[in-house]
Amino acid sequence: MSLRPARMIDTPRLVELLIESHAGSRYAGVVDVDAAYARKLIAQFIQRSPGSHDGGTMVAVVEDEGKIVGFVAGILDRVYHIGTKLAANDVFLVTTKGAPARAARQLMAAYITWAQGVPDCAELRMSWTDALPSGERIHKAYERMGFRHCGGIYTRDVERAEEAA
């Protein structure tokens, strides 16, 4: 298994991984994946990787037997969007069902290494939601890596007038 920076040629495979992951999420059958948009987004992330400024990104992939089995993408943003320092935010952390267990750890380590190397980065953020079943299990890995719980996200699905009737 090997870890490396993502390349433009990887874009179609990364979009495949997003689509595969989406199929197992609570959004499957409710929200479609815009594959064309996903390709553009991933390509932009790869183009700006490894960045060290507001809007800079990182994308790394892990391969097993020559096939990409996971990737991580992160982005830098000003602290609370107005600060003079930056915060690193994870955007995607995706591995296939058959990926070795250490694949996710390698990807998280790559993200952390990138963020810690950015001189103006004051904070690293890792997140999870209930979009994927058992997503909450990853918080234990985050804590082992030195992250602490900070805040929360509350969500509410949009109710349409026609659905309520």
Separation in Å, CA 77 to CA 27, 42, 81, 120, 132? 26, 17, 6, 10, 25
pLDDT in tens, 88-139: 999 999 999 889 989 999 999 999 999 999 999 999 999 887 777 666 777 7
- Rounded CA-CA distance 139/144 in Å is 9
User: In this structure, are residues 120 and 86 in contact, taking their beta carbons and an 8 Å threshold?
Assistant: yes
pLDDT of residue 4: 98
Domain presence at residue 142:
no
Q: Which residue has the higher pLDDT, 140 or 81?
A: 81
Structure token pair of residue 148: 């602490």
Structure token pair of residue 73: 């993408």
Is the pLDDT reported for residue 165 higher than 60?
A: no
pLDDT, mean over the chain: 92
Q: Is the dihedral of CA 23, 25, 30, 32 positive or negative?
A: negative
Domain presence at residue 144:
no
The total number of structural domains that make up the chain: 1
| CATH classification at residue 32 | 3.40.630.30
Domain presence at residue 109:
yes
Domain presence at residue 70:
yes
Residue 19 domain boundaries: 2-124
Domain presence at residue 51:
yes
77: left (phi over 0), alpha (psi -120 to 50) or beta: beta
Domain presence at residue 55:
yes
pLDDT of residue 94: 94
pLDDT in tens, 132-149: 766 677 778 888 888 898
SS3 content of the chain, % helix, strand, coil (to 5): 35, 25, 40
